[in-house]
Amino acid sequence: MQGPLWSKGGERGLYKTINGGKTWKNVLSVNEWTGVTDLLIDPRNPNRLYAASWQKHRNVAAYMGGGSGSGIYRSEDGGEYWTKLKSGLPGGNIGKIGIAISPQKPDVIYAAIELNRRKGAVYQSTNRGESWVKGADAISGGTGPHYYQELYASPHQFNLIYLVDVRMQVSEDGGKTFKRMNEKFKHSDNHAIAFRKTDPNYMLVGTDGGIYESFDQTKNWRYLENLPLTQYYKVAVDDSKPFYNIYGGTQDNNTQVGPSRTDNFHGIRNADWEVVLFADGHQPATEPGNPNIVYAEWQQGNLVRIDRTTGEVVHIQPQPFEGDGVERFNWDAPILVSPHSPTTIFHASQRVWKSTDRGNNWTAISGDLTRNQERIILPIMGKKQSWDSPWDMFAMSTYNTITSLAESPKKEGLIYAGTDDGFIQVTEDGGKNWRRIEVSKLSGVPATAFVNDIKADLFDANTAYIALDNHKYGDYTPYLFKSTNMGKSWVSIRGNIPNRTLVWRIVQDHVKPNLLFAATEFGIYFTIDGGKKWTKLKGGTPTISFRDLAIQRRENDLVGASFGRGFFVFDDYSVLRHISNEQMNNEATLFPVKDAWWYIQRSVIGFSENAFAGANLYMAANPPFGAVFTYYLKDGLKSKKQIRQEKEAKLNKANKDIPFPGWAELEIEHTDIDPAIWLTVTDAEGNVIRRIKGKNGKGFHRIAWDLRYPASNVIKLDDYKKKPENPFDNPSGNLVVPGIYKVQLSKQENGKITVLSEFMEFKVKQMRKGSIEGPGLKETEEFWKDIA
């Protein structure tokens, strides 16, 4: 285990279990800053082990990637005793080490060793590590050896080794010389390799861009495109009609844009997505009212403006004037579109910049709002270090930068700026004067806390929210605060968010002020009471880091940007506005219904849902077509059989006798009609259009009406199963016409129908008209009724 990157101690070293993982023992512990990165087991002798250790420490300000704790160790007794291998190996401050064992000659060990200041070499031992011979001066590059440096030995050819790197390095002579592997049409930044023992031509490689495989010794590569694994830093949405678009800045996979839904029945395909900017993508932004103007950036604040109509991309990063010094932009610099003018944008380095013409011209509206420190004099690895220590300057993000911006939508010129070094800055006059707040003044917050997010309240000019983050100093506490006096004082609204669940972003509902959402390291939380009590959103969202959230206000959709599983959309979360303790105590609640688009779903890739392309064709599901009904059942409905079985289960758990219910009771169970939930759809005049059977379990449920009449032929819906070979096989009838409709919730229980809600009215809206003028929709509807 490598142990904590951001702090000393913790679980680090090599752990061993002899009881299948029930208990573990640390058998190789070096020091409080050093962990173990690689472990080799001699295929001839499981007690002969080789381990590589690595001393390192990173914080917000700096990174030190080596030390005396780094080295190579061997054990001959299953890890009870270890010898540090030294003969022929370099001394001093060693960095990351990758090791590999020859499958053909296991006495041969290879090691790729990082030396000071990004130098390095590959070493080989032919005697189980007793002595080593230096080979090529090969080292992983890019952002630094810390990001790569793993070493792999081919199971098919002796002395064929691979050093993972931005571009893979390959040696056929055991590390004496290296060349670059062919990676045409393949993503860079290699991290992992897998071989197939039975096929010397096969290789599987994991990269920043996903997984690739080759069947011809790397001459050609096949990309596995059905894995939704994108790591998104940030998200933005536009107001395109009828369906909005989602923009995301990714880890080394560009800034991407795709539709929130499509008008076909297949779903949202990879082909529906576009790349709008290269490299690592970060914060995107869109212009309200003009979805063709988009802002995106690559690392360190390299901001561009994109005109999606013409395809023009203009670099608009603000530049310092002569004598101003260097602008320090964060790795993930903030971009903000003013809520008061769609053509006014803000960007930030150590200063806040403002443009009123979409980035053509910029004005700095602040001085340096950070601590402006010399990072090399700050403590790392527990103390101030010599310049000759193993600093990796190229692996360090820019420090003393502004990380978050917000402008109050209720008061123009009221702007908040947060920094990576513990400051909150506030101006009430558009930047003429700034008021500084140190985060250490907030209750329980360390001075080093990074400002992940600031949001100005949508309803009150005096109110703001802030999410702070100190995990890069080993502290994973969720710091979430609210101010009601423009930042002069703050109170915690963390509520019951679990400890060690750091908060990345916070957003506020645009209708209900106390409805807030928080993106955290372990999922998305919401509160309906302003932060007193938080509830984790589930419904298919993984327990993974969500780095950003955005609300599409027209659709009431919440979009979450996960770091490793792509985007997740909570379609029409408006139901959360209506939740209250009183409502939750009602037997049932039917929530307001969102208007539905009326259109014929297209078939764009073929007859079946995935055009018979197999599992390789990845598609995300569209939201359900038609009108979606959301309802809540306090207790749910149970049949007589279910009630009996639950009672018997309790008796069985208590090891008690289970009574026989009697034949008469069993006959009643057999002939009893199971309880059911029904949603009755009518037109504006109250004529019944469709009855839809819903789920009857306890809790929240959603079900969609496909905007069709019932089937004209006799069919049992309970027994109906759609045939997968025929996607158009559907028990429903013809489409209704656009107009006003109503829905009511009821239950069927003990032979009676009981109404559970009032009618909810909603609209069915025509999305587009046909090119050919034909009979009116109402006339067409009457025609189908006549022949049904």
The predicted pLDDT at position 731 comes to 62
- Per-residue pLDDT at 51: 99
Q: What is the pLDDT of residue 583?
A: 85
Whole-number pLDDT of residue 772: 87
The answer to whether 745 and 758 have CB atoms below 8 angstroms apart is no
List every span in the chain annotated with CATH 2.130.10.10: 14-181
> What long-range pairs does 718-721 form, CB within 8 A, spacing at least 24?
718/693
Phi then psi dihedrals of residue 639, to 5 deg? -80, 165
Is residue 728 very low, low, confident or very high in pLDDT (cuts 50, 70, 90)?
A: low
pLDDT band, residue 584 (cuts 50/70/90): confident
Tell me the average pLDDT across 679-695.
97
CA distance 423 to 618: 44
pLDDT (0 to 100) of residue 712: 77
Query: Residue 73 and residue 97: Cα distance in Å, rounded?
Result: 11
Percentage with pLDDT > 70 across the chain: 97
Q: Which two tokens stand for residue 89?
A: 């190996």
> Is residue 673 predicted with pLDDT exceeding 70?
yes
User: What residues have CB less than 8 Å from 138, skipping those under 6 apart?
Assistant: 112, 120, 121, 122, 163, 169, 171, 175, 178
> Which residues have C-beta within 8 Å of that of residue 671, sequence separation ≥ 6?
none
Q: What is the CA radius of gyration of the chain?
A: 31
Quote the Cα angle for 88-93-97, to 5°: 65
Q: What is the pLDDT averaged over residues 535-552?
A: 96
* Rounded average pLDDT over 602-618: 86
| Residue located via tokens 């890069």 | 472
Q: How confident is the model at residue 721 (pLDDT cuts 50, 70, 90)?
A: low
Give the pLDDT mean for 233-262: 98
Q: What is the pLDDT of residue 346?
A: 99
Question: pLDDT: is 366 or 265 the higher one?
Answer: 366
Digit-coded pLDDT (tens) for 365-400: 999 999 999 999 999 999 999 999 999 988 889 999
Which of 509-514's residues contact partners 24+ apart within 8 Å by CB, and which partners? 509/551, 509/576, 509/577, 510/458, 510/551, 510/553, 511/574, 511/577, 512/577, 513/457, 513/458, 513/459, 513/460
For residue 29, count CB atoms less than 10 angstroms from its CB and return exposed for 0-12, middle for 13-18, buried for 19 or more: middle
Over range 430-439, report the average pLDDT: 99
Name the residue among 404, 409, 593 with its Cα closest to residue 510.
409
Residue 490 tokens read as 């703050």
Whether 411 has a pLDDT exceeding 60, the answer reads yes
- Per the rule left: phi > 0, alpha: psi between -120 and 50, beta: everything else, 566 is left
Share of the chain above pLDDT 90, in %: 88
- Distance from C-alpha of 238 to C-alpha of 244, rounded to nearest angstrom: 6
SS3 669: helix
On the question of pLDDT at 770 being above 90, the answer is no
Give the side-chain half-sphere CA count within 13 A for 149.
Answer: 26
**Mean pLDDT computed over every residue of the chain:** 95
Q: What is the pLDDT of residue 95?
A: 97
User: If we measure between CA atoms, which residue out of 186, 218, 187 comes closest to residue 202?
Assistant: 218
Rounded to whole angstroms, how far apart are CA atoms 709 and 691? Answer: 9
Residue 543 pLDDT level (bands cut at 50, 70, 90): very high
pLDDT given at position 726: 55
Question: DSSP of 334-380, one letter per residue?
Answer: -EEE-SS-TT-EEEESSSEEEESSTTSS-EE-SS--S----GGGS-B
Q: With 0-12 CB in 10 A as exposed, 13-18 as middle and 19+ as buried, what is 750?
A: exposed
What is the model's pLDDT at position 643? 87
Residues 6+ apart with CB under 8 A from 544: 522, 523, 562, 563, 564, 565
Q: Largest Cα–Cα distance in the chain?
A: 96
Average pLDDT rounded to a whole number, residues 623-637: 97
pLDDT at position 113 is: 98
- Give the pair of three-digit tokens for residue 28: 């190789």
pLDDT score recorded for residue 35:
98
**Contact in structure between 699 and 636 (CB atoms under 8 Å):** yes
**759-771 residues labelled b (16+ CB within 10 A) or e (exposed):** ebebebeeeeeee
Q: Which two tokens stand for residue 4?
A: 């904590």
Check: CB of residue 482 under 8 Å from CB of residue 530.
yes
DSSP for 367-431, written as a single string: S--S----GGGS-BTTB---TTS-B-GGGSPP-S-EEEEEE-SSSTT-EEEEETTSEEEEESSTT
Name the segment(s) of the chain with CATH classification 2.60.40.4070: 614-637+675-787
Give the C-alpha distances (Å, rounded to integers) separating 575 from 56, 579, 583, 677, 747: 48, 7, 12, 19, 21
Checking if the pLDDT of 432 tops 70, the result is yes
**CA–CA distance, 546 with 522 (Å, rounded to integer):** 7
What is the DSSP annotation of 266-332?
A: S-EEGGG-EEEE-SB----EEETTEEEEEEEEETTTEEEEEETTTTEEEE----PPTTS------TT
| Per-residue pLDDT tens digits for 140-190 | 998 899 999 999 999 999 999 999 999 999 999 999 999 999 999 999 999
> Rounded mean pLDDT of 748-772?
94
What confidence tier does 723 reach under pLDDT thresholds 50, 70, 90?
low
Predicted pLDDT at 784? 78
Residue owning tokens 């995107």:
284
Classified by CATH at the fold level, domain 14-181 comes out as Methylamine Dehydrogenase; Chain H (2.130.10)
Q: How confident is the model at residue 174, as a pLDDT?
A: 98
The Cα 226–Cα 270 span in angstroms is 9
Residue-wise burial string across 683-698, b where 16 or more C-beta atoms lie within 10 A, e elsewhere: eeeeeebbebebbbee
- Which candidate, 628, 678, 668, 627, places its Cα nearest to that of 644? 668
Q: How confident is the model at residue 730 (pLDDT cuts 50, 70, 90)?
A: low
Stretch 484-499: mean pLDDT: 98
Instruction: Determine the CATH number of domain 614-637+675-787.
Output: 2.60.40.4070
Residue 117 has pLDDT above 90, yes or no: no
Q: Sort 303 into a burial class: Cβ within 10 Å, 0-12 / 13-18 / 19+.
A: buried
pLDDT at position 53: 99
